[in-house]
Amino acid sequence: MVYMYNIIQKLFPITRSLSGNGNRETLNYLKENYLCELNIKEYSIKDNTETFDWTTPYEWNITEAYIEDENRNRIIDFKNNNLHILGYSEPVNITIPFSELDKHLYSLESDIDAVPYTTSYYKKRWGFCITHRQREELRKNPDKLYHIVIDSSYNKNGSITYGELIINGLSDEEILISTYICHPSMANDNLSGIAAAVAAAKYIYSLYERKYTYRIIFIPETIGALIYLKENIDHLKKYVKAGFVLSCIGDDGDYSCVHTPYNNTYTDRIVTHVLKYITDNPKEYSFLERGSDERQFCAPLVNLPVCTLSRTKFGKFKEYHTSNDNLNFVTAAGIGGGINYICQCINILENNEYYKIKTVGEPQLGKYGLYPTISQKGSADFTRNMTNIIAYLNGSNSILDIAEIINIPFNNALDIIKQLDNSHLIQKA
């Protein structure tokens, strides 16, 4: 799983946004190094000025942005950290006193050494994000002049870029995995989601046989989800059986989820089950605490069974949307845990079947070598679990149903089912 951490390191410096060359570079990197079947798509802005109720933003690119003093010392340079630029800033080239410049600065009084991540997608303005400590220092000389340069462009004939990977399975029914690619240099939000989605794809490819078809998408948050829905909503509504948004899934904190609006879908059940055994302290948030693309996928007229999976949920860690969400905040162990989380959900989806016991009355397990002839620590538990599973194998309970009834992890129940199957004691219902 170390290579997943390498993806985060590699993609960290790239300037991403809702659109632009950084997003293309990010997707090309994934395609060239990990997902050769990734389809990189361009959604033309000129042909789609409206996306449902939203105005599609122009494609934005930026090559340079800095603030220099009268001695041409660059006191802020976007090349050192792309969080310094207000996302979607308009181009400028002016010299103004600090008192004017101050109106275009964004900083955090609550964390004076962090650079905040700030954007202005839908109102044209320009600005820089700096530490509050630096801003306070500059405020001591309000009349000092600064030269401001932002070399950015808007292209109304451009496009919004996203990635789509379809991995076919035996069934037309689909599992949707969605993550976003629109944040610049921050590791947990959102590079961890990209790394976990790549790892999930690798895991899905590694399965000997796939029950479901998988649709893995890399989209800019919100507008990208709306674009994807605009192009695919009928298909998604017809075929998506379960879905996951991956967000902030690489830190060492909690394991958490955001449930669907009524917490009543197959996805909700699977996520709750996985969380119960992956951590002693699962955090299950209701849809009232939504914030990522579950907002679009679970909206009333869309209504897909999509939960969001996180380690520490967006907004619940102090590094969130600042320069402190860096390569130290996400760890190899943290992202490894996040990958395990999504892969366990996939494992349940792939293996959750209905079986029926063949014998009338209880089977005589000893005949099949399934009953220990010697009593030792643990063997009683195993036998108890096996007889309990048999007691519910009536053909209308799935393995997940039974694991929940008898209160054991899905994988333990699956192991026992495999042994019963090898002994020809059960059949698929």
Name the minimum Å distance from CB 77 to Zn ion. Answer: 24
- d(Cα 425, Cα 249) in Å, to the nearest integer? 41
Give residue 208's region: left, alpha or beta (phi > 0; psi -120 to 50).
Answer: alpha
Query: Residue 164 or residue 325: which is nearer to Zn ion going by CB?
Result: 325
Query: Residue 189 or residue 294: which is nearer to Zn ion going by CB?
Result: 189
Angle between helix 193-206 and 332-351 (nearest 10): 40
Residue type, 354: Y
Name the minimum Å distance from CB 315 to Zn ion. Answer: 9
Closest residue (Cβ) to Zn ion?
A: 189
Name the minimum Å distance from CB 113 to Zn ion. Answer: 20
Query: Residue 189 or residue 251: which is nearer to Zn ion going by CB?
Result: 189
Name the minimum Å distance from CB 193 to Zn ion. Answer: 10
The DSSP code sequence of 302-367 is T---EEEEESSPTTSSTTTTBTTSSTTTS-HHHHHHHHHHHHHHHHHHHH--EEEE-SSS---GGG
Binding positions for Zn ion, 169-208, rule CB under 5 A = 189
How far CA 29 is from CA of 25, 190, 195, 243, in Å, comes to: 6, 16, 12, 25
Query: Residue 89 or residue 192: which is nearer to Zn ion going by CB?
Result: 192
- Answer yes or no: are the C-beta atoms of 130 and 105 closer than 8 Å: yes
Name the minimum Å distance from CB 26 to Zn ion. Answer: 15
**Structure tokens, 284:** 């299950």
Query: Residue 250 or residue 363: which is nearer to Zn ion going by CB?
Result: 250
The site that binds Zn ion (CB under 5 A) totals a number of residues, namely 1
Placement of tokens 């790549």 in the chain: 198
Binding positions for Zn ion, 244-303, rule CB under 5 A = none
Name the minimum Å distance from CB 221 to Zn ion. Answer: 7
Binding positions for Zn ion, 370-429, rule CB under 5 A = none
Query: Residue 190 or residue 344: which is nearer to Zn ion going by CB?
Result: 190
The residues that touch Zn ion, with contacts defined as CB under 5 A, are 189
